[in-house]
Structure 1
Amino acid sequence: MSQAGSPTNPRAERYLSLRWRLLLPVFAVVLAASVLGVYLVSRGMTVGGGEMRALLLDGNTRAVAERLEQFFVEQIDAAAGFLRTPEGRDAFESGDAARLETSLANYARLAGLDALSLVSGGTVAGEMPGSVFMIRAPLENGVTAFVGVAQERLLQVAQAGAAVDILIDDPTRATRAATRAVFLDAGAASADTAPVTLDGVDYLSASVAGFSGLEVTVFMQANPPIAGDAARQLIAITLAIVAAGVLVAAVLIVRLILDRVDRIRVVAERLAVGEVSEPTGMRPTDEVGRLGYALDRYAARVQEKQEELRNSLRRQRRELEHFTAMIESVPDGVVVYDIDGSVTFINEPARQLIGERYNFFKRATDRDITAAVVETLGGISTHSVTPMGIPQRIEVDGRILSVQSAPLRSVAERPIGMVLVLRDVTAEVRREEARAMLLEQVIAELGPDAADAGRRAAPARNDALAFTQEARRRDVALGKLLIEMRELTQVDQQVIRRAQRPVSLEMLVHAAANEWRATASAANLTLEVSIEQNGLTIVGDERRLRWAIGNLLDNAIKYTPPGGKVALEVKGAEGGYARLRVRDTGAGIAAHELPRVFDRFYRGEPTLPNGRRIEMPGVGLGLPTAREIIEAHGGLITLRSTVGIGTAVYFTLPLQGTPVPAVSPSPSLDDESDAGETVRLR
């Protein structure tokens, strides 16, 4: 059972996206800061409201005073300009009251004055309506100007759109005017800012003095809108907008970061399941970029390795398919073992040889197949079969199988298994047995009967005595030859080892040649002996070696036309082995017959250049028996032949003091540069 949080159980712990892990704390902090800000601002406004209202009233009062002062200065300057005009000066100096009043009216209208009068020496010129406020302005030469300003105009100048109300009182003329009628009954402002209740509303007031005897009072509500709920709501909305902006900015930043992290996550998850997707494409400009860049490099490396692995697998698959097809096409059975002795491959011929009684190969496991092979082969194993040596024979279900093995090695020359080659040789063995029985019968019947017939033959007359004696001598020689042939054809390595002795190769060659020289002469052939290196000594069974060499000479003599040559040659020594050759100028062997010349009881169909077939007695045991004797001594034999030119047999024999290896070196086919002249004798 996998533990919580382990790679095999990724959902064992609760999953929470990193986006929310970052956004939730930011949202909580911004929300808390906004609420706290609204609370502190509202509390500050409530606690310090009186001071704020007093400051606001004071500011409005100064603004009203500044506006009135500027207005009065403008009005006085405009009134003083009358005397500076030629018409006004002339009218004033003329002393004509009617003319002066007319000039004052025209000038006031042109200068934008509501009313204008002059007082000089007790004389008053110009009218002053009662609905105006008078502004007194001393001029030059003892002249005083009085400027009349309409009540509504002066109130507008003083208020100028401010959130205050104005009361103007002219005590000298008992004239009062206010922006609202409710203030006409209000008294003058006191020194403090204590609220005044008018029409159920509390007001704060402040006075403005010093304007030609006019008393100006400024009124402002004690609880103005800016200090109420509207201000708090505005501040709350402002803070909420700021908080929302901060939160949106945080979301965008976190999203930008997490989108990059998410790209890395997608690539990593696909790599975890063996898929290679598009890279993140990030540059190593920050920590996240470096992580994505490193992951891209790793993904590219993984993709490269995967491509190499796929190519290697394709190549191995093709090689395996070719190997399987090649092994399946082999007619012999092939069984491949691994280093542990388990069967890893078995071709169809081997299945047929081994598995006819195990009809389960298509559904059997490797262990079942290995058990079936071991049970079928019995004691034969990969360790008991000599690698590439003489095949062993076993009997399975009435059939005889030939078993041969070869080791399998890796490129580093380490053993990795073994291959067994199986062949059904039942028919061949049965033929060999039948022919051996036939040979035994010939030897059993011909030998004693011929000898007894010679002994029973009595000469009838003297001239038949010589014939009788010769017949008896040949009869005895034939019986002896048959017995010797039976012994020599029974090749047994243990018997050969017991009979081995140091043998002079020169004496052996000359002895074998002398035995067949008379036969060669009778066939009108020349038998030559050539020894290129003297003093060579071999180890072997001299009698059997002489018989084997004699068989080679016998074949050369039988299939060489009269007038030809037969040569027995010692070519020298190489690698601890003596090299010998027997060649002739005979009819030669056809190419299609060469692979079977060493098979028991096989006889070819040699023909002369004129097409006539060469008929010679024999049973086809000469070359096979000679090969068995030579190989039993640790040597090898091979043959080359050209039709119409002749045949050459090459073989090797181990020299004295040379250990016999599992596989002896192959004999050199020829020393001549022209391969076509290999078997030609001149």
Structure 2
Amino acid sequence: MIWRSVVGKLWLTIIGLVTLVLMLLSLILSEQLERTVNQGEQKYLLNLARHIQESLQDEEKPDSEYVSALLRATELFDVHSIILGPDKSARSLNGSPGSPEIPWQAILKETEIERVFQGKEVVLRGRVQVGKNQHAFPLFKDEILLVAVPLKSDGNVTGAVVLYREHDQLTETDIKRWIIYSALISIFLTTIFAFFLSTRITQPLIQMKRAAEKMAQGHFSIRLPVRQRERDEIGDLAISFNRMAEQLHESMEALSHEKEQLASILRSMVDGVITMDAEGKIIVVNPPAERLLASWSDEEEERESLPPPLREIFQTVVKDERDHAADITLHGRTWAVVMAPLYAGDQVRGAVAVLRDVTEERRLDKLRKDFVANVSHELRTPLSMLQGYSEALLDDIAQSPEMRKELARVIHDETLRMGRLVRDLLDLAKMESGHIEIERTRVNVPALLQRVVRKFQGIAGEQKVRLQWEVHPDVPEVFWDEDKVEQVLTNLVDNAIRHTPEGGEVCLKAAPSNGRKVSLTVRDTGSGIPEEDLPFIFERFYKADKARTRGQSGTGLGLAIVKHLVDAHGGTVSVESRLGEGTTFTVKLPVGGGE
């Protein structure tokens, strides 16, 4: 649509203004021309009629040569002359050939004739009228200009001189026509000028529009050409546009750089980051969060929405408009979630959540608490007994030497128990800090197993537990840290004997294993370990026999020490157990040495 373009609006505005000015100018010129021509022609006829009147009223020479000359002049200018007599009869004066007799009623009305015979001059202009019908007289194609001057004799009006001619409109019409032609030519030239001007004005605007469209598509490096000779307002606008484009380009590059940095930071973060809109739909996630959502969601399409635990936190954050922190436990893992609202002005437009896997931290925190509680418990009991029995000795409560000896033995046993606990704690702390030194030497496996069994023969005999050992003949030569492997077997055998009732059996066996390893097995026929406790028995201070008495219970550190020592040798330790059937610990150690 032409009205929707600047070119069309500018062109129509210029054409409208020029047309209006030309029309007004044409009207003024036509009116002025018509008035000038009419007044000149009227004045000419009126003067000519007055000269004829004066000549005819001269009684001494009414037919003078002067009158004849005037009449010939009227013929030259196509002026018709009529004399009206006292009886108002018409008579032609020039009598030119071809001049028809014209009834005076066709020219003058009764009212005009009466005015003339009253001594007044009459000037008429218009079409010839006959009766009530107005039409052009056959002789005349255009308007008629008529003047009537009274003839007087002795002060009385005796007739009238009537001069009339066809109103010459040819010249006036031609002039008007040329004015119209000039106006049309002016409009045409103005149109060309308007299009030229509008093109010169709007071409930079069109270029700006195209440049803006390209910038909207992401091409921020585009610039507008600016010529030095076109430094007008539009040129200044183009310069301002280029400056704006340059600043926008720099801003977009800075934003892109910051976005890349933020994306790199998010990708390198160990914690998961999730950004949501006001409806809870996921907008941005980093790889850890994406893996987390994938593990939480069963179907692909569900990953766009928040899992139920996060959705509850999101609703709380949006409702309260403040940060919220909580722990989520899912699929055996614990996640710490910190979620904060995102604002657009005063409105919450979404939220951002940071998720961290704190499973190990929570486990270690629990172990720390358990460690403190267990150490406090393990130390409090022997300390209480030491204090009580020592006070009994100081107060001479024990009267006999046998009783004092028994009290001293209890104090000695509790001291040894505390020593073992402290020693195990120190060993475990050293192992967990990575300060385990493995000194590999050639180890005689049968001699090692025999030494461990001989160490526990007395305790096994007291508890009426049968202790056996067996070494497979194909066991290869091994290079281990003999003291540390002996500590592993000692802890396992001691644990097995303590958990095996009277009449039970504990068997220590060594056999070759696949991959140049040696398998050391400690099997008992004790009460067994509950299945839910099996994943945690190698943690420090974890006790599956929580109901045991002090005398039968260990410190809860033996299996943790076993795990560290086996790992230091590059081996593995595993356990199989059934309640009421017994437990089997299997330690697989590489042969070592020059392999």
Please give the range of the TM-score, normalised by the shorter of the 2 chains.
0.3 to 0.5
Using CA pairs below 8 Å that are at least 6 residues apart, which structure has the higher relative contact order? 2
TM-score, length-scaled by structure 1: 0.35
Structure whose CA Rg is larger: 1
TM-score, length-scaled by structure 2: 0.39
